[in-house]
């Protein structure tokens, strides 16, 4: 049996769970307590961060994007990898994630006020808003790898200050996120066991 070590609210784990759910790969999910990491997780991946996929053949995959690609290699009925996804995912996972962390945990980064870090992240939000002006999803007319890879991080950014996000000048991004959060794909992976 394939095993996924996960943490429900981790955006990296969310996107891995969504790809596995979508692909239909049978997987047993182990919810990890970050304060008491299971020995199986540490044996498979000494870094001890989630997600970690332990395949039925013993192969260990430690990065969320690699888990997503592995799942899509098993089954990708809607062709999630069509369209240009790489640059958006790369920017999300580097610059935007760094801004998100500083915005969310601004007290850990006292060099600047929270609004400074939010403004850094807004550069990426504006880029997404511009893309969504042309198409309903980030890589074209249909849900893609880019949408699934980015939505958990945009969700986290929006939740730092929901009142601000609701008033921010990103109506298409807000609609995209709301549609995503209401989808069966997302709701199914967020159900508590």
- Residue 82: what pLDDT? 83
Rounded to the nearest 5 degrees, what angle is found at the Cα of 146, between the Cα atoms of 143 and 53?
105
Q: Do 97 and 155 sit in the same domain of this protein? A: yes
Q: Give the list of residues 6+ apart from residue 101 with CB closer than 8 angstroms, or none.
A: none
Domain end marker among 57, 77, 97:
77
Q: Do 38 and 118 sit in the same domain of this protein? A: no
pLDDT digits (tens, 9 = 90+) for 104-153: 999 999 999 999 999 999 999 999 999 999 999 999 999 999 999 999 99
Comparison of pLDDT for 191 and 14, the residue scoring more: 14
Dihedral of CA atoms 86, 89, 94, 96 in degrees, nearest 10, equals 140
**Which position has the token pair 């013993």?**
58
What is the domain-level CATH number for residue 111?
Answer: 1.20.1050.10
| Structural domain for 167, as ranges | 86-185
Angle between helices 145-160 and 64-74 (to 10 degrees): 140
pLDDT exceeds cutoff 70 at 193: no
Domain end marker among 77, 99, 133:
77
| Residue 193 within a domain | no
Least confident of 63-72, 81-90, 114-123, 160-169: 81-90
Q: What pTM value is reported for the model?
A: 0.96
pLDDT digits (tens, 9 = 90+) for 161-177: 999 999 999 999 999 99
| E strand segments, the chain | 2-6, 27-31, 52-54, 60-61
What confidence tier does 34 reach under pLDDT thresholds 50, 70, 90? confident
Compute the mean pLDDT over every residue in the chain, rounded to the nearest whole number: 96
Q: Do 94 and 175 sit in the same domain of this protein? A: yes
Q: Do 121 and 171 sit in the same domain of this protein? A: yes
d(CA 146, CA 83): 9
Q: Do 91 and 73 sit in the same domain of this protein? A: no
Other Cβ atoms less than 10 A from the Cβ of 48: the count is 14
């Amino acid at each position: 049996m394939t095993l996924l070590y996960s943490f429900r609210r981790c955006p990296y784990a969310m996107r891995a769970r969504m790809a596995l759910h979508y692909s239909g790969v049978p997987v047993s999910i182990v919810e990890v307590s970050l304060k008491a990491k299971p020995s199986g997780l540490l044996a498979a991946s000494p870094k001890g961060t989630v997600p970690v996929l332990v395949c039925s053949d013993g192969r260990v995959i430690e990065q969320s994007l690699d888990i997503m690609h592995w799942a899509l290699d098993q089954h990708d009925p809607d062709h999630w990898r069509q369209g240009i996804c790489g640059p958006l995912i790369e920017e999300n996972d580097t610059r935007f994630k760094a801004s998100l962390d500083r915005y969310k945990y601004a007290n850990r980064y006292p060099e600047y006020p929270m609004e400074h870090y939010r403004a850094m992240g807004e550069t990426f939000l504006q880029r997404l808003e511009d893309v969504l002006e042309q198409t309903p999803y980030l890589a074209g007319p249909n849900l893609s790898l880019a949408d699934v890879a980015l939505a958990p991080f945009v969700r986290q950014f929006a939740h730092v200050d929901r009142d601000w996000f609701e008033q921010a000048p990103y109506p298409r991004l807000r609609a995209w996120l709301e549609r995503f959060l209401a989808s069966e794909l997302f709701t199914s992976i967020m159900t508590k066991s």
